[in-house]
Chains A and B, each alone.
Chain A
Amino acid sequence: MVGEERVARYGMVIDLDRCNGCGACMTACAVENNIPPAQPRVNERTGLTSMRVHRASNHRGFPDHEEVFIPISCQHCGEHTPCMSVCPQNAVDVNPLTGVVSQIPARCLGCRYCMAACPVHARYFNWFDPEWPEGMERTLNPDVSVRMRGVVEKCNFCHSRYQAAKAKAAAAGSREIDPADYVPACVEACPSGAIVFGDLSDPESDVALAAKSSDAFRLLESLGTDPKVYYLSEREWVRRLGGADVTRDSLEVHRG
């Protein structure tokens, strides 16, 4: 407990055997968080995709070739959060009530130390001013401000939705939010139901139960940063990808 509020530990479990790489999570993330479309010169290294679906394969020839799609966003590290450790501006914040790692663009000076520190390259730099085709700015989400060129941004588990859920709970005279009211956009959008979100510290929650599965693994767990995003797969070669290096401009997660 912090004060009178219960401390949650929000996290995600992504079932890679259900993910078919449709990209709905990426689109939903961009719509929800007012992430601008790419300008012509933007590429995989300079793009803004707080949620990015990577492709990896078992490197075998046809027809034994298999692929897996791995949605990677900020892993919301719980220990020694690397991006927070290196930020000279205190622009990275770990909310003690939720465990969510957030970026504060207003404080960010754009030094990009955090991007170098992030082991899964889940932080993105605004290389360009945000632009939408004429008139389309009228469709922006009013709950999220637009970030300017020169700052870093990343997944914050849709913080505006957390705030909305808190406001709704407060209006009902409660300090506890209803789990159904706080669902990040990517989770809501997944047509396969591959992403489960919730409070990992609640042992009865779906997300906590799924995280304890023998098929669960985390990315780069050996670094000891206690990521709060778990992955599930029944395939052994997919689970081995948890120890692999993730690169920004590669289509694949390389096997370690």
Chain B
Amino acid sequence: MKTNVTRRDMLTLGGGVAVGSMLTPAPWLLLDDLAIWTQNWKWIPVPPKGVRTSQKTVCSLCPAGCAVEAGCVGGIPVALRAAADGAPLCSLGMTGHHLAWHPARLTAPVRVAASGGEARLTAVPREAIVREVADAMRSQGRGTIAVLDFRPGRGVSWAWRNLLAGFEGAAVIPAPGSPGSGLRAMRGFAPDTQGEWVPDLDHATAILSFGAPLADGWGGARTRARLMDGTGLRLIQVEPARSSTAALATRWIPARPGSEGAVALGVASALASADPQIASRCEEILPLLERLTPERAAEIAGIPAESIFEAAQMLLDHPRSLAVPGESFAGGRFDPTTELAILSLNVILGRIGAEGGIVTRAPLADPVDGAHLAPMRELDETPDASIGVLIVDASAGEEPLPWPSVARKLAPRALAVALSPFAAGSSLHAGRVISVPAYLEAIHEVPRACDVAMAALSISRPLLAARVGSADPASVVREIAASAGVELEGDWSSTEELIALRTAQIHRSGVGRLEGGEAGSPDELRDAMLEGARWTTEPVYHQIRMSISTEMAHRLATIEGTRREDLVVVPRTSPDAAWSAVLSPLFTKLHQESGLRREGGVAVVNPATAREKRLRPGQKAVIRTAQGRVVARVEVDHAVMPDVIELTVGPTPLALGQSRNRVISNSLDVCGSSGTGWRCTPAAIEEA
């Protein structure tokens, strides 16, 4: 028997062990374990642990006020879902709990210094800002005082009006495009009407919509559902792009941007020719309608005249029909004359105050009855270079607004102060920013936007503790008043107390009802609303005969001279980006990691326009307008109308939380001209 162990034997053994081990689980377990070990480094975030609870609140990020059920761990919201039977939350609502930790979140009041297109922030005590504002208000040496309110209709909005009541020329300006001011062109027909004029879309059976984004939630969930189901609603959509609403409409009329007023008058002309009774209601503009025939309007809009006749026939055929000027998420409202032309259709059809027509919505009760209030004034009614002290209240959200349209109203050496949770949007243009609580950090009111006929009020209950260094907007009003020596009306010192006063007033009035709850006392009403119940009223129908005045006829006559611009720029953004200056970093999924949405600063043109202007996809181009210039990246898309530049206004790297650079410039700033909105602006484009 061989007893010597040779080198060959050792090698054979080693080889055997190696081959044999492959037949055991050992190496595979080792690989598995290695994989597991290398996935648990200390820098990999670990999901939170703690007691799980479910809390109810209301989303205050947009005026829809969706009821929310928040899943919380250790008291921190980790998931936001629609409450039972509620409409699903949008992307903004689902990610709202991220905003409190957004990189652009402000945790202290700051002074903003602009340098080379970027803003530098320096912490400054709130008391110093409050004192500066109060001193400027007292002296009024710089000009008038104004508050630019991005969410009018709140209790805090009332407090601002009460604060400014004692100052001559002072006014609260609802941010253009912000909810709460209704269809303002209707005020020309009935200046003394209490409440807001709103479209009763839910009860209309036929809608001639001028760019209303009904499929994206504008007009309420019920109208959207009817549009999606394709039953019981005829919709003709007049819009330059085949939007999601246009795609679902019965007919899409691709009218050139800026020609909507002409289309409306073309439809009015067809209606007046078809029905002598209608002609009798528009005697003041009959000569204009005889000149601006459907054929002439079609020529201006670049559409077949049959489209205009079809729209007129639809309005005639349906007793509950309606023409509505929609808001563009980036472009805001139509200019007042176009809005007047569109709303005149309802006047001549006798649809004012009728079910499914244009109705008035009762105003929400103020926290204190009969208080002295400063007037509300539109931005374009404010004289240029007149505002000496501007307070921008963006504490509850912020819609896209070209800052030059505000800056034009500021006097030299004007003081601008913003209330915002974020160093983004308008607050970067103001010299000082007072940090306020973000969504879910404080109680917020949610009055409905102008797109729904029912007045409604919801309360968003806080689920997170407010950050140290952020101030309640209502207490800021109190502090400014105290420093300026102004006596405010009512016994309140915080937003919560203002809301309590308001709910008590609502309960006392006995008007409206509570959806999803009952209330026997003011406290019960407030508690039910804190649990997600919504107070609402039904529209009241009271048909009113109105007529077009001579002054209106003169304004409408200017539409006849609408000329076809060679090239126009039209701003575009997504519904989410329209309500908040910042978005959750998870929006990178939509804007950066997929091609679903374009980021801000992209100029999209039709291939024909690209050829004509010698533009190539991906290259940089300069867009020039009367407002200035902007450099944008070019994309080419058949979906865009020829001779139109769709300029995307949306999240920048800052807004998605990836850059610390606080970029001030905004592509929207080149849009718009004095007094006429910024939906459509003549422009030139060339290779950069």
Contact = CB atoms under 8 A, between A and B. Distances in A.
B46 interface: yes
B88 A190 contact: yes
A69 B217 CA distance: 18
Contacts of B641: 62-63
B596 A26 contact: yes
Nearest to A61: B638
Interface residues of A, number: 75
B89 A189 contact: yes
Contact of A65 (B35, B77, B88, B242): B242
B35 A53 contact: no
**Interface range, B side:** 35 or more
Contacts of B597: 23
Contacts of A117: none
Interface string A124-136: 0000011111111
Contacts of B640: 62
B588 A38 contact: yes
Interface string A91-124: 0000000000000011111000000000000000
Interface stretch (A2-10, A145-153, A170-178): A145-153
Contact of A67 (B32, B79, B242): B242
A171 to B, nearest CB: 15
Nearest to A110: B35
A24 B91 contact: yes
A22 B247 contact: no
B102 interface: yes
A109 B247 contact: no
A23 B589 contact: yes
Nearest to B657: A133
B280 interface: no
B606 A62 contact: yes
A145 B47 contact: yes
**Residue in B216, B574, B592, B653 with the greatest tally of chain A CB atoms within 10 Å:** B592
Given A137-B45, A142-B49, A38 B39 contact: no
Interface string B560-580: 000000000000001100000
Given A27-B587, A27-B590, A30-B589, A140 B35 contact: no
Interface in A170-203: 188-193
B589 A27 contact: yes
Interface class of chain A by DSSP: loop
A38 B658 CA distance: 8
A62 B639 contact: yes
**Residue in B73, B94, B589, B656 with the greatest tally of chain A CB atoms within 10 Å:** B589
Nearest to B43: A129
Nearest to B221: A191
B126 interface: no
B588 A109 contact: no
A32 B40 CA distance: 20
B94 A40 contact: no
A109 B228 contact: no
Nearest to A145: B47
**Residue in B77, B575, B584, B642 with the greatest tally of chain A CB atoms within 10 Å:** B584
A99 to B, nearest CB: 25
A233 interface: no
Given A38-B593, A133-B103, A139-B101, A191 B39 contact: no
B30 interface: no
Given A63-B641, A192-B228, A148 B593 contact: no
B638 A60 contact: yes
26 contacts: A22-B216, A22-B574, A23-B596, A24-B90, A26-B91, A35-B586, A37-B657, A42-B588, A44-B595, A46-B593, A47-B593, A48-B589, A49-B589, A65-B638, A67-B247, A129-B43, A129-B44, A135-B100, A137-B45, A137-B46, A139-B77, A139-B78, A140-B45, A141-B47, A146-B45, A191-B88
The 6 A-B pairs with the shortest beta carbon distances in the complex, nearest first, are A47-B593, A37-B585, A20-B244, A251-B595, A38-B588, A135-B101
Given A142-B52, A148-B40, 7 more contacts: A26-B590, A26-B594, A63-B641, A135-B101, A136-B98, A141-B47, A146-B44
